[in-house]
């Protein structure tokens, strides 16, 4: 008799320290944070199912179930290597940070440690969400335009535009870019890099967005620059608001987290804005700055410290 092989199982575990991703996680779970306009939990679950894994609840997890904290980006090849290991084992990245494990309740109880040099990393801080977004958008291979694009606009690369969205004359979009439903971009806007813009958003005349995550229902006025940033939902950026994203000395950006400086590992990093932020016209935001939920800035201000 031929025995049927049981599919490999996986379970998604809660994030280990989601508060470190504030202010994006101040009022939402890390699993609800958007990557390419899809909640992270849904995105990871879909990728695991696509790879042939069966997702189960933690209560149903067995000795061979892969235990994956949701705050990790793991290449499927490395994950399958863990699954094929016959012993209890823990998968580590090149810096020996825990990515996933099987065979034990806790990773430190595993018999073996597997170190991978694949492109895997934990999502500890907000800028790690940018890195994850870059990885996901780079994998897009098909353009989909469901909205209305002016013949005087220019679209190149892989671009997805949702139903009801309007791309006005003079706008240039260089993919990979995802734009949700019922948004308006332009006229004369410039969208580039690994950028996702949510549903019901507005990007005004002459605004530029580069390599950023923009949540739903956000209004970016004319002549704004948003680079390497995460902008929450229901945010309003006054005209001329600009984010700095590059240090003059060319070093990695440093951001304050719980009162201590953290090297972000990024040469370019803009601002992290929580939901409901409103900036006055001509606000300048220094690199790596975080602004908490519903905070406001006066016109012409320079934001050089976190407002949390």
* Alpha helices by DSSP H, 3-138: 40-50, 76-84, 126-138
Structural domain tally of the chain?
2
Instruction: Report the 10 Å Cβ neighbour count for 213.
Output: 30
Look up the CATH number of the domain holding residue 89. 3.90.550
The stretches of the chain forming alpha helices (DSSP H) are 40-50, 76-84, 126-138
Determine, yes or no, domain membership for 154: yes
Across residues 277-297, what is the average pLDDT?
Answer: 97
At 256 the pLDDT is 87
Based on the fold, state whether residues 164 and 96 are members of the same structural domain: no
Cβ atoms of 175 and 158 closer than 8 Å: yes
Same domain, 94 and 162: no
Residue 185 structural domain: 144-303
Dist CA 44 CA 195 (whole Å): 19
Same domain as 279, residue 249: yes
pLDDT in tens, 186-210: 999 999 999 999 999 999 999 999 9
Looking at 123, 154, 175, which one is the last position of a domain?
123
The answer to whether the predicted template modeling score (pTM) of the entire model surpasses 0.75 is yes
Average pLDDT of the residues in 72-77:
90
In a domain, 183, yes or no: yes
Return the closest-CA partner of residue 148 out of 130, 132, 161. Answer: 161
Question: Could you read off the pLDDT of 221-272 as tens digits, one per residue?
Answer: 999 999 999 999 999 999 999 999 988 888 999 998 988 999 999 999 999 9
CA distances from 79 to 47, 67, 96, 100 (A): 12, 10, 15, 8
């Amino acid at each position: 008799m031929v025995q049927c092989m049981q599919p490999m199982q996986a379970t998604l575990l809660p994030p280990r320290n989601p508060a470190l991703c504030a202010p994006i996680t101040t009022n939402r779970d890390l699993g609800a944070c958007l990557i390419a306009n899809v909640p992270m939990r849904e995105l990871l679950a879909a990728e695991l199912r696509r790879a042939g894994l069966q997702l189960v609840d933690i209560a149903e997890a067995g000795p061979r179930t892969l235990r994956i904290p949701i705050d990790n980006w793991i290449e499927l090849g490395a994950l399958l290597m863990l699954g094929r290991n016959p012993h209890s084992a823990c998968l580590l990245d090149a810096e020996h940070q825990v990515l996933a494990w099987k065979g034990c309740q806790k990773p430190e109880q595993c018999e073996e440690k597997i170190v991978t040099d694949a492109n895997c990393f934990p999502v500890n801080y907000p800028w790690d969400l940018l890195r994850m977004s870059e990885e996901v958008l780079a994998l897009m291979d098909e353009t989909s335009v469901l909205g209305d694009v002016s013949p005087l606009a220019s679209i190149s690369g892989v671009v997805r535009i949702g139903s009801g969205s309007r791309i006005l004359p003079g706008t240039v979009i260089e993919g990979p870019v995802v734009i949700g439903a019922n948004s308006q971009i332009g006229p004369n806007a410039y969208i580039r890099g690994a950028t996702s813009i949510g549903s019901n958003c507005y990007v005004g005349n002459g605004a530029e967005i580069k390599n950023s995550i923009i949540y739903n229902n956000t209004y970016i006025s004319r002549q704004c620059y948003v680079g390497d940033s995460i902008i929450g939902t229901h945010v309003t950026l006054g005209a001329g608001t600009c984010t700095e994203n590059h240090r003059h000395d060319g070093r990695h950006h440093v951001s304050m987290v719980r009162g201590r400086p953290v090297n972000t590992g990024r040469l370019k990093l803009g601002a992290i804005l929580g939901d409901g932020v409103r900036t006055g016209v001509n606000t300048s935001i220094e690199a790596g700055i975080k602004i908490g939920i519903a905070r406001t800035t006066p016109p012409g201000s320079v934001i050089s410290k976190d407002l949390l």
